[in-house]
Amino acid sequence: MSYVVTGAAGFIGSRLVAGLNHAGISEVLAVDDLENGAKAKNLAGIEIEDYLDKREFLSQLETGRLDGGIEAILHQGACSDTMETDGRYMMENNYAYSKALFDWCQDEAVPFIYASSAAVYGPGKEFGEARENEDPLNVYAYSKFLFDQYVRKRIEGGTAQVAGLRYFNVYGPNEAHKGRMASVAFHAFEQFRAEGRVKLFVGSDGYEDGAQQRDFVHVDDAMSVNLWLLENRAVSGIFNCGTGRAQTFNDVAAAVINTVNGSEFSVAELVEKNFIEYIPFPPQLVGKYQSYTQADLSRLREAGYEGGFRAVEAGVADYVRELLKS
């Protein structure tokens, strides 16, 4: 029996396969789309049983070739570009494809753990997993939101575990291929290495320069929640996956710079030394930007998850040390 990881060559997916390997599981069917060949590098350091293109995988499911051969599906594959404007592509890739996998898993009584997103909350300030808190700002967020609604209507009386994780701002190893959609931590590291400074947006939505706040979560902490769900198959539902602590972009920049330099400067000192530079806020993001996010972890904790989440100061430092080795 194989564990299927979609998006296995991607950021979270590849770290999830590594986590399965660490748990002694190498019977992994890796599913992805390698049109972006740069992602293949993420597969080189992990052990898999086989690889299938995402279209071929869906075809084999629909024709019954994989019936009885799958232990669980961990669905991480998606178009995660929040600036993508092709709604047809986004809905086919993120919504229709996810529905097909969910329906197959319910027909075959196979556990289904999937990636949702904190983008579903939009500009709101309440981050509990409730419909009244959800207000997606773009088609990416809407595709995730709509699939969550599809799951909600069918989760009661399901044949097998169904769990969605609303990832907040994930950062960490194996994200370089994401380009402009890579994390703030990754871009801060690249900027500091190339230019000797980190560029952040000036203040917006009432926040001072660089003081917009997000819930930044290390990819391996998010991976651990997936593995816990896999071990606890009586747990179903939609859960936030973040640290539960909002921190500023300034905090991320400071963690990057201080780790690279081996220093302990405050944000004010880093600005004074011109290590942090504030740039104009992009007009194309006005009205489409989450200036504040903070995961409400109540539901995840009530379900029994007791694992920890690193704060920016520790998690970003760990990440930067890995980047410095590469």
How many Cα atoms are found within 13 Å in the side-chain-facing hemisphere of 261?
A: 15
How many Cα atoms are found within 13 Å in the side-chain-facing hemisphere of 130?
A: 11
In this structure, are strands 169-171 and 198-201 parallel, antiparallel, or unpaired? unpaired
Q: How many other C-beta atoms lie within 10 A of the C-beta of residue 208? A: 12
CA atoms of 220 and 171, how far apart (whole Å): 9
CA-based nearest residue to 244, from 210, 275, 214, 280: 214
Query: Which residues are annotated as catalytic?
Result: 140, 178
Judge contact between 276 and 198, C-beta under 8 A. Answer: yes
Helix %, strand %, coil % of the chain (to 5): 45, 15, 40
CA-based nearest residue to 313, from 266, 255, 259, 262: 255
